Amino acid sequence: MSEYDYDLIVIGAGPGGYVGAIRAAQLGLKTACVEGRETLGGTCLNVGCIPSKALLHGSEKFEEAASGTLARYGVKLGKVELDLAALQADKADAVKGLTGGIEFLFRKNKVDWLKGYGAFKDAHTVTVAGKDYTAKNVVIATGSSVTPLPGVEVDNDKGIIVDSTGALALSKVPAHLVVIGGGVIGLELGSVWRRLGAKVTVVEYLDALLPGMDGELRKEAAKIFKKQGMELKLGTKVTGAAVKGKQATLTLEPAKGGGAETIEADCVLVAIGRRPNVDGLGLSAIGLELNARGQIETDHDFRTKIGGVWAIGDCIPGPMLAHKAEDEGIAVAENIAGLTGIVNHDVIPGVVYTNPEFAGVGLTEEAAKELGEIKVGKFPMMANSRAKTNHEPDGFVKVIADAKTDRVLGVWAIASVAGTMIAEAALAMEFGATSEDIAYTCHAHPTHSEAVKEAAMAVTGKPIHI
């Protein structure tokens, strides 16, 4: 009989943890996954990627109908009304289907779900709901939660000052939504409520939206969201909030210092980033320390400094993205099983699912320039036949290549389907492609993806359609 109850215990059933647990089981390891939520799937499936995309999709349909743009295609509508309860029900249905699907996959792959929050007793023992379980290996995949903003107290039940979870569940459209933080969550959820009828003001500390993305995309983002009717207060910080009845009053100051102003809102979304979930995990019991950002450090194989303890996903350094967590889940399981699991952290695409979408993979132009000489090719969506036909003029594709080797270092795109287009750029970069490789790859016509080919052709100064 084995010395341990399990070969592997994974703590947390988000995209990192559940995928890692399933892969480990596929590789023949006796595996359990600890999850404290009532449903599997973590932040992503319960209160993140999936519900936000359901509301983005639904609100896009509503705006298309309500704004009258469908009339151009001969679709004549009478008075368009919003049934928010129906939209929320559709979102709940998507979440239920997908979280239930993970439960099915656990049963199919014989992964035991240990229900409750887990804490280390020692490096090979995890206590869950008062019971100890042992394992040869433990993977920490506890994810992240909203970073609080001192002086701006979130209360999702009241629905006045909310975090992303509260903003996904509002039962009425706010008259004025103030979003604190012009990052991914602020712009996606700000877009949802603007489309449904709210006035939306985004307060961002930095001088540009979407930190981490290429500078040109960040500049263009401000233009596009302003054009869509969002009010942007860049270079501005929120220093306090007071709630009286059903209204909040926020105090704002220029980030660089200066006079304060106040603004009123009936809903405030705090979206200033997320931080790792490590409280209550018992890390001190195993002597595992955190870095200055509160993250768990690992080596390239996702091993922590403690033997038999591994970590993946949002609780370790790197972008907080579901697909990054999933790939790390697969890699860590393969490493534990004695195979070679690798994640190429230089090629992790990122997408903002607004309309248009903002997407990128690899280095920004700013970062690439710091490393050496580069060549850049750009192609506007306005000159792409499919985007033009669909009346989607905003955006461009930009390919950044090494000036000497022509190897692609980064690709950035703003387009209605930029999130889908960026997949080919990631694949090309993973295979070490040059811009010429992309330029000489046949792309189907008429597709938005032809803009990727033309941007690659532009690296050598020879796009056709501009």
Residues acting as catalytic residues: 445
Q: Which does 419 bind (CB under 5 to 8 A by kind): ligand FAD, ligand NAI, none?
A: none
Kindly state the smallest distance separating residue 75's Cβ from ligand NAI, in Å: 29
Supply φ then ψ for residue 26, to 5 degrees. -60, -30
> Considering only residues 15, 186, 395, 463, which one is a binding residue for ligand FAD as defined by CB under 6 A?
15
Q: Which does 272 bind (CB under 5 to 8 A by kind): ligand FAD, ligand NAI, none?
A: ligand NAI
- Return the residues of window 278-307 that contact ligand FAD according to CB under 6 A: 280-281
Q: Does 11 bind ligand FAD (CB under 6 A)?
A: yes
Supply φ then ψ for residue 366, to 5 degrees. -65, -45
8 Å CB contact between 367 and 393: no
Q: Does 17 bind ligand FAD (CB under 6 A)?
A: yes
8 Å CB contact between 325 and 335: no
- For residue 84, the Cα-to-chain-centroid distance in whole angstroms is 24
Cα 20 from Cα 253, distance rounded (Å): 45
Kindly state the smallest distance separating residue 314's Cβ from ligand NAI, in Å: 8
> Considering only residues 44, 111, 269, 296, which one is a binding residue for ligand FAD as defined by CB under 6 A?
44
Q: Does 135 bind ligand FAD (CB under 6 A)?
A: no
User: 15-26 and 322-336 helices cross at what angle (nearest 10)?
Assistant: 30
Supply φ then ψ for residue 132, to 5 degrees. -90, 135
One symbol per residue from 414 to 433: x for binding ligand FAD (CB under 6 A), - otherwise; what is it? Answer: --------------------
One symbol per residue from 159 to 178: x for binding ligand FAD (CB under 6 A), - otherwise; what is it? Answer: -----x--------------
8 Å CB contact between 101 and 95: no
Q: Which does 82 bind (CB under 5 to 8 A by kind): ligand FAD, ligand NAI, none?
A: none
8 Å CB contact between 112 and 241: no
Q: Which does 166 bind (CB under 5 to 8 A by kind): ligand FAD, ligand NAI, none?
A: none
8 Å CB contact between 24 and 333: yes
Interface with ligand NAI (CB under 6 A): 149, 180-186, 188, 203-206, 211, 237-238, 271-274, 319-321, 351-353
User: 418-430 and 450-459 helices cross at what angle (nearest 10)?
Assistant: 50
Comparison of 138 and 456: residue with beta carbon closer to ligand FAD: 138
The region of 41-49, 104-112, 237-245, 438-446 touching ligand FAD under the rule CB under 6 A is 41-49
Kindly state the smallest distance separating residue 182's Cβ from ligand FAD, in Å: 15
Cβ-closest position to ligand NAI: 183
Cα 156 from Cα 152, distance rounded (Å): 12
Kindly state the smallest distance separating residue 326's Cβ from ligand FAD, in Å: 8
**For binding to ligand FAD (CB under 6 A), which residues are involved?**
11-17, 34-37, 42-44, 48-49, 52, 117-118, 141-144, 164, 185, 277, 280-281, 313-314, 320-323, 325, 353
